Amino acid sequence: MQIIINGKTYAANPGEKILDVARRNGIEIPTLCHSEALPGLASCRLCMVEVHENGRTQYVASCTYPVADGMEVFTNSEMIAARRKILLALYNLIAPDSARIKGLLARYHVEPFDRLEADPDSKCILCGLCVKACEELGTNAISTLNRGTKKKIGTAFNEPAADCIGCGSCAIICPTQAIEMTEAEGNRTIWEKTFELLRCRDCGEYFTTPESLEHVRKKLGETVGNIEELQLCNYCKTKRAATRLKDGLHLDEYLDSDK
């Protein structure tokens, strides 16, 4: 299967989305709500592209629109570029301090609106990535509340979430750093709830909460091999895996033979 993006032909696989093919081939399409781990939100609408298919022209979100053989895609047509500018200017109203948004404004030469005032206190663009991360990785502790212009992200009844395990997935995935997560003296505070932090067994750095470790252990269930490995920070986990790989491949011998 082949699709044409901006005049060039690229190979594509059935079921793939336009964005997948574009990104694989280094074609730039901006996104805010897209994560390869949690695809399909389609809420930021920045990845809109123009598609010519079966004699029809359509404007679609490339992150969710499936490829079809022979489809022609334009990522930067006049219409797409003009609307992207307007949309980015709207983003600037709701997250004026975000580095990511500032970068996009500069990248696409967007002039902020003179006529409309940005809200200096606003950070969240309500893309929904945090909610999806909590749903998939965590415990559904947060969700969107209300609707329309009153919509926000929060915990049930705005109270410290009983279900939150302090894993921080929501804060890490947020494209505009809108979720406050602070760490001090072996404690992590998020969604107005404070957790004790565990130290990595190898390096001794604080790295996660006992609640999230327990959550992962439960989720993995029987399949968990080395419980000890769960108690390592990402850096040490990677280090151990690399060491194992090196040992398994007997890389030392290759390295030694160079001598």
Partner 1 sequence: MQNKKTIFVCCGTGCQASGSMKIYQTMQKIISKLDLDVEVVADIKKTGCHGLCQKGPLVHITPQEITYIHVKTTDVQEIIERSIIKDEVIDRLLYFDKQQNAKIQSKNDWSFEKKQFRIALRHCGCIANDSIDDYIAKGGYQALEKVLKTMTPQEVIDEIRKSSLRGRGGGGFLTGLKWSFAAKAQGDIKYVICNGDEGDPGAFMDRSIMEGDPHTVLEGMAICGYAIGANRAFLYIRDEYGLAVENMKKAIADAHARGVMGQNIFGSGFAFDAEVVRGGGAFVCGEETSLIHSIEGSTGEPTSKPPFPANQGLWGKPTIINNVETWANVPVIISKGADWFASIGSEKSKGTKVFALVGKINNTGLVEVPMGIKLREIIFDIGGGIEKKRKFKAVQTGGPSGGCIPESKLDLPIDYDSLIAEGSMMGSGGMIVIDDRTCMVEFARYYLKFLSEESCGKCVPCREGIKSMLKILNDICEGKGQEGDIELLEEIGSMVKANSLCGLGKTAPNPVLSNIKNFRDEFEAHIKDKRCPAGVCKNLTKLYIDQEACIGCGLCAKSCPTAAISGEKKQPHVLDEAKCINCNSCRERCAVDAIRVH
Residues 98-117 that bind partner 1 (CB under 8 A): 113, 115-116
Distances (CA, A) of 187 to 167, 177, 206: 12, 20, 9
94 near partner 1, rule: CB under 8 A: yes
For residues 84 and 46, the answer to whether their CB atoms sit within 8 Å is yes
Instruction: Specify the residue, 61 or 236, whose C-beta has the smaller distance to partner 1.
Output: 61
What backbone phi and psi angles, to 5 degrees, belong to 137?
-105, -30
1 near partner 1, rule: CB under 8 A: no
Which residues are bridge partners to 142 per DSSP? Answer: 155
Member of 6, 10, 53, 64 binding partner 1 (CB under 8 A): 64
Residues 193-212 that bind partner 1 (CB under 8 A): none
Distances (CA, A) of 215 to 129, 156, 165, 166, 219: 20, 20, 8, 10, 6
76 near partner 1, rule: CB under 8 A: no
- What is d(CA 146, CA 202) in angstroms, rounded to the nearest whole number? 45
Residue with tokens 């968990």: 224
- What is d(CA 174, CA 126) in angstroms, rounded to the nearest whole number? 10
Member of 71, 127, 171, 233 binding partner 1 (CB under 8 A): 127
- 130 to 169: interface string for partner 1, x by CB under 8 A: -------------xx-xxxxxx------------------
Instruction: Specify the residue, 176 or 209, whose C-beta has the smaller distance to partner 1.
Output: 176
77 near partner 1, rule: CB under 8 A: no
Size of the site for partner 1 (CB under 8 A): 35
224 near partner 1, rule: CB under 8 A: no
What lies within 8 Å, CB to CB, of 9 at 6+ separation is 2, 3
Q: Interface with partner 1 by CB under 8 A: which residues?
A: 40, 42-45, 48, 59, 61, 64-66, 79, 82-83, 86-87, 90-91, 93-94, 113, 115-116, 125-128, 143-144, 146-151
